[in-house]
Chain A
Amino acid sequence: AQSVTQPDIHITVSEGASLELRCNYSYGATPYLFWYVQSPGQGLQLLLKYFSGDTLVQGIKGFEAEFKRSQSSFNLRKPSVHWSDAAEYFCAEVGGGADGLTFGKGTHLIIQP
């Protein structure tokens, strides 16, 4: 069965430091990959997506992600985090079937002053 793994349940980063959130997907062929962000009590907002082409994709709010087929990874990065980046982050993929998105369990990002 298709699965998305986000190994880190919680991550704490100091404001201004760099960030990397890990995501591993399972679908072996060309996946369609997404990162979403969720503020407390809110819906999910799309940060960025990868369908094909350049393996480094840019998103909103200064985020980027790199697709690495050899590692089945799609890690999210930001060079300098802001206190407003504190939120829950979800990685998701669409595989070959017609059954929609598969989400990881999320990574909770805490920003230290």
Chain B
Amino acid sequence: DGGITQSPKYLFRKEGQNVTLSCEQNLNHDAMYWYRQDPGQGLRLIYYSQIVNDFQKGDIAEGYSVSREKKESFPLTVTSAQKNPTAFYLCASSRRLAGAYNEQFFGPGTRLTVL
């Protein structure tokens, strides 16, 4: 089955620690995305990548970092600089970035809680 996997589903970390969230897709999609979801805020774009070894900041990139070394993988690191990291994180992918190709497919999400 093709799809997007995110791991772990739940993640607990102490304040001040960096943490990396995994996202893998086997849909052969070029574009991948990370969103943050908070109650009443909808989805806010953190980073996106159109191709391997290239990525762009979204609306709320401060305190986060990403890499795109392989087409299938787009890990997100939540650094200690992120002031309020507790949230639900969603990864998505699409065939391309633009227009009709931007039908995005979503993973199941990772809930990060910073204690």
| A residues apposed to B, CB below 8 Å | 9, 32, 34, 36, 41-46, 49, 51, 90, 94, 98-101, 103-106
Question: Within the complex, what minimum Cβ distance (angstroms) separates B90 from chain A?
Answer: 6
B40 beta carbon closer than 8 Å to chain A: yes
Question: Within the complex, what minimum Cβ distance (angstroms) separates A105 from chain B?
Answer: 4
B63 beta carbon closer than 8 Å to chain A: no
Residues of A within 8 A of B102 (CB): 32, 94, 100-101
From A34, A43, A44, name the one whose CB has the most chain B CB atoms within 10 angstroms.
A43
Checking B6, B56, B58, B106 against A44 with a beta-carbon cut-off of 8 angstroms, the contacting residue is: B106
Q: Are A34 and B103 in contact (CB under 8 A)?
A: yes
B17 beta carbon closer than 8 Å to chain A: no
Per the bound structure, the CA–CA distance linking A44 and B92 in Å amounts to: 9
Residues of B within 8 A of A41 (CB): 88, 109, 111
Per the bound structure, the CA–CA distance linking A100 and B30 in Å amounts to: 13
Question: Within the complex, what minimum Cβ distance (angstroms) separates B93 from chain A?
Answer: 11
Residues of A within 8 A of B58 (CB): 100
Per the bound structure, the CA–CA distance linking A103 and B38 in Å amounts to: 13
| B residues apposed to A, CB below 8 Å | 4, 6, 31, 33, 40-43, 45, 48, 50, 56, 58, 88, 90, 92, 94, 97-100, 102-109, 111
* Given known A-B contacts A90-B42, A101-B102, A43 and B97 have beta carbons under 8 A apart: no
Checking A9, A43, A98, A99 against B109 with a beta-carbon cut-off of 8 angstroms, the contacting residue is: A43
Question: Within the complex, what minimum Cβ distance (angstroms) separates B78 from chain A?
Answer: 18
* Given known A-B contacts A94-B98, A94-B99, A105 and B105 have beta carbons under 8 A apart: no
Q: Are B42 and A49 in contact (CB under 8 A)?
A: no
Residues of B within 8 A of A44 (CB): 43, 90, 92, 104, 106
From B41, B56, B97, name the one whose CB has the most chain A CB atoms within 10 angstroms.
B97
Question: Within the complex, what minimum Cβ distance (angstroms) separates B61 from chain A?
Answer: 13
Given contacts A44-B104, A94-B102, 11 further A-B contacts (CB under 8 A): A42-B108, A43-B4, A43-B90, A44-B43, A44-B106, A45-B106, A98-B97, A99-B97, A100-B94, A100-B97, A100-B102
